[in-house]
Amino acid sequence: LEGSRSLVSRIQSETRNLVSDLRQDPGEAADLVGALGELLDQGNAGAGPALSMISPVGGLPALPSRTVHHLRMIAQESVTNAIKHAGAATIVLSVAMDEGGLRMTIKDDGHGFDTTTGTSGKSGHFGCMGMRERCRKIGAEIEWRSAPGEGSTVVVTLPNPPMKEEAP
C-alpha cells in the first residue's frame, strides 16, 4: 500500500510538472534554486530520507524555463533513484556557478553502485538514459560517481548556461 501511495504521489508530481512546463512561455526566465526548493519541499513532506540543498549566496541568475525544467527533472530522477535503489538516509542537492559553468550535484549516502554498468539502462528502466537525454537537450554533461557501499554523486555541468532563450 505504501509503495502504491508513493507511486501515485510521484505520478501526480510529474503530471503537475508537465502541465506547468506546457503553460510556461519557453522564452520565460526561471529560477533554478526555487524549482529545486519546490522539489525538496515535496520530498520532505512525507517519510523518507532527509533532503537538503546548498545554494550560492545571492542565488543564481535566471535561466530559460526549458533549461530549469530539464535540470529539475534530472534532480528529481536522481532523488528518486537514491530513495528507490540506494536506500539513502540523506540526500543533498547543490548548485553553483564556477569557471566551468553551472554545476548541479546530487549526493546521497546510500548503497552506491558500479557506475560502469549501473547507468546503462536495464529493460524497463529509463531513469539514467532519460537523464542523459535531458542533458543532451540543454548542452550539459552528466557524470555518476559511486562505488558499492559508498553512496553516489550525480554531477551535471552546464558550460556557459544560456541566460536568455531564443524564440523557437
Question: What digits encode the pLDDT tens for the residues 75-113?
Answer: 999 998 888 888 899 999 999 988 889 999 999 999 988
And the C-alpha cell for 45? 513532506
- How many Cβ atoms sit within 10 Å of the Cβ of residue 117? 8
Looking at the DSSP bridge assignments, the partners of residue 158 are 102
Measured distance CA(78)–CA(42) in Å, rounded: 14
Measured distance CA(69)–CA(103) in Å, rounded: 15
User: pLDDT confidence of 166, banded at 50, 70, 90?
Assistant: very low
User: pLDDT confidence of 140, banded at 50, 70, 90?
Assistant: very high
pLDDT at 121 over 80: no
More confident residue, 142 or 130: 142
Nearest to 55 by CA among 42, 66, 43, 71: 71
Instruction: Note the pTM of the prediction, 2 decimals.
Output: 0.77
